[in-house]
């Protein structure tokens, strides 16, 4: 293993630019070393925080004291089982690495978080989702097995479907035959896209408690994922609008037709507001001058349906867009690569503000009930109006989940950004939404997590953590104060 005690700063930040502190960084080179380090921390009463690729936005992988354990060396793909559509990986395999590997077998991993360099361990820890979640759902839907090292060094193996809560109880058995039992209360809001706290629902699967637990209950050392055959044909469209009402009417049409009788069945519907497009214009000067908003769509299809599908889409586009002839279309692999560049350019541009110009990113990650999405957006747009610091609103409109990002560079801007952050989250909560739909709570969103849940529910979740982490050493100050 590698132990670092100096030059630690690169390990003390994630993409939020939140600066943590630690006395040392441990870098295990295999699972045995990882278990040894965790046992050492537990026996020495050292607080320890886990880090994967460091692409998080809530300081969840940023340590507050003592030890940081980096999983960067645990990045191997262990085996693929195409017959059963499963792949087994170590936790620091990245989405990009996995996708490249699966292409050789003509398979793909459906969840599609925006950051392609994020680790799968981090994705599981936050139950990350992305553009394709509209059709396929979040990470949780594709995790079939987990090997978890608990904070005391014992190992827990979890397989979907093997351990279901009964009569309000869940019981876990470690490899050392230690039995751990918890009471299960129905506290998790499943009516909206949600990554805010522990997944605790009636008749839940034991594996789901750890998915989205943000590195506070245990450490993933091995992950098995469900994979699917790569679709043969995909159409991509970027549709431009100068009017939000027209865009929303268009979205409502294609969103409402997701059923077996529908004419169009997109797997992706993504939204970009005016300031998002302004970030992209330098890289994509061909964006229409009159475009204030955009919708990006993808759909899988059979070749014999291609002409009819295109006709259906362009009929709908012509009805709602004032510049339908400017619509971008992707059918070939090369064209889809250009669309992928478009999609990833926005986070890359905003990351430049953080890394090169020293800005700090505040990313609002609220989701609301779908019937209230338009009301939520218009209220947020009004709050952001006239903001002088860089900002953008974009993302997963099909899940009623938009990213609202601000980038401040000084103390005065921070005060303003914090006020706006709090106001927007309050708007979302007042509409029945959640604090985080996919990024998690980490350290940055704790005050709003406490706003979302009452004291009794917070204490209940704390009791779950204490059951697995008896010394409260793992993921110090993630989720809870």
Which of 70, 90, 108 marks a domain boundary?
70
CB 300 within 8 A of CB 245: no
Segment among 83-92, 176-185, 305-314, 460-469 with least mean pLDDT: 305-314
What pLDDT shows up at residue 347? Answer: 81
Which contacts of 379-387 are long-range, i.e. CB under 8 A and separated by 24 or more positions? 379/427, 380/404, 380/424, 380/427, 381/244, 381/273, 383/420, 383/423, 383/424, 383/427, 384/275, 384/420, 387/416, 387/420
Is the same domain home to 238 and 224?
no
444 lies in a domain? no
Range of the domain at 329: 234-364+366-430
Is the same domain home to 255 and 225?
no
Q: pLDDT for 465-479, tens place per residue?
A: 999 999 999 999 999
318 lies in a domain? yes
Mean pLDDT value across residues 429-445: 95
For residues 421 and 406, give the distance between their C-alpha atoms in angstroms, rounded to a whole number.
9
Is the same domain home to 248 and 323?
yes
Confidence of residue 261 (pLDDT cuts 50, 70, 90): very low
What pLDDT shows up at residue 139? Answer: 96
467 lies in a domain? no
Q: What is the CATH number of the domain that holds 65?
A: 3.30.43.10
What pLDDT shows up at residue 78? Answer: 98
Q: pLDDT for 285-334, tens place per residue?
A: 999 999 999 999 999 999 999 999 999 999 999 999 999 999 999 999 99
**What b/e readout covers 190-207, taking b as 16+ CB neighbours within 10 angstroms?**
eebbbbbbbbbbeebbbb
For residues 77 and 90, give the distance between their C-alpha atoms in angstroms, rounded to a whole number.
6
DSSP string, 197-263: S----TT-BTHHHHTTSTTSS-EEEEEEEE-EEPPS-EEEEEEEES-HHHHHHHHHHHHHT-STT-S
Q: What is the CATH number of the domain that holds 95?
A: 3.30.465.10
461 lies in a domain? no
CA-closest candidate to residue 48, choices 62, 30, 58: 62
Mean pLDDT value across residues 339-361: 83
Q: What is the CATH number of the domain that holds 339?
A: 3.40.462.10
287 lies in a domain? yes
- Give the dihedral of Cα atoms 135, 136, 140, 142; nearest 10 deg: 180
């Amino acid at each position: 293993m590698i132990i670092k005690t100096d030059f630690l700063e690169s390990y003390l930040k994630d993409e939020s630019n939140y600066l943590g502190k630690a006395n040392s960084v441990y870098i295990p080179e295999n699972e045995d070393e990882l278990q040894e380090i965790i046992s050492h921390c537990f026996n020495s009463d050292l607080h320890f925080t886990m880090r994967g690729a460091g692409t998080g936005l809530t300081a969840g992988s940023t340590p507050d004291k003592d030890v940081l354990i980096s999983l960067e060396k645990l990045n191997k793909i262990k085996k693929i089982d195409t017959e059963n559509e499963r792949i087994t990986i170590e936790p620091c395999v990245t989405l990009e690495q996995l996708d490249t590997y699966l292409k050789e077998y003509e398979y793909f991993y459906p969840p599609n978080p925006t950051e392609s360099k994020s680790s799968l361990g981090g994705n599981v820890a936050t139950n990350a989702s992305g553009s394709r979640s509209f059709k396929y759902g979040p990470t949780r839907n594709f995790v079939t097995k987990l090997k978890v090292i608990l904070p005391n060094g014992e190992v827990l193996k979890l397989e979907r479907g093997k351990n279901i809560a009964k009569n309000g109880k869940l019981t876990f058995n470690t490899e050392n035959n230690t039995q751990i039992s918890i009471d299960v209360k129905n506290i998790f809001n499943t009516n909206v896209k949600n990554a805010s706290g522990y997944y605790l629902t009636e008749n839940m699967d034991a594996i789901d408690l750890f998915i989205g637990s943000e590195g506070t209950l245990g450490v993933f050392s091995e992950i098995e994922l469900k994979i699917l055959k790569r679709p043969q044909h995909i159409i991509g469209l970027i549709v431009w609008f100068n009017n939000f009402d027209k865009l929303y009417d268009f979205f409502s049409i294609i969103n409402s037709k997701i059923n077996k009788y529908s004419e169009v069945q997109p797997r992706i519907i993504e939204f970009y507001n005016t300031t998002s497009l302004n970030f992209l214009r330098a890289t994509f000067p061909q964006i229409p001058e009159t475009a204030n908003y955009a919708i990006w769509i993808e759909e899988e299809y059979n070749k014999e349906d291609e002409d009819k599908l295109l006709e259906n889409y362009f009929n709908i586009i012509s009805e709602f867009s004032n510049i339908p002839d400017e619509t971008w279309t992707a059918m070939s692999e090369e064209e889809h690569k250009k669309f992928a560049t478009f999609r990833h350019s926005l986070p890359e541009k905003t990351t430049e503000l953080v890394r090169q110009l020293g800005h700090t990113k505040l990313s609002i990650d609220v989701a609301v009930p779908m019937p209230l999405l338009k009301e939520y957006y218009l209220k947020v747009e009004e709050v952001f109006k006239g903001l002088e610091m860089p900002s953008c609103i974009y993302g997963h409109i099909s899940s009623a989940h938009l990213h609202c990002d601000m980038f401040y560079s000084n103390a005065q801007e921070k005060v303003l950004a914090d006020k706006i952050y709090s106001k927007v989250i309050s708007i979302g909560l007042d509409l029945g939404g959640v604090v985080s739909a996919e990024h998690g709570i980490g350290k940055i969103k704790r005050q709003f997590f406490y706003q979302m849940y009452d004291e009794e529910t917070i204490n209940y979740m704390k009791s779950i953590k204490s059951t697995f982490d008896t010394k409260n050493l793992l993921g110090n100050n993630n989720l809870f104060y």
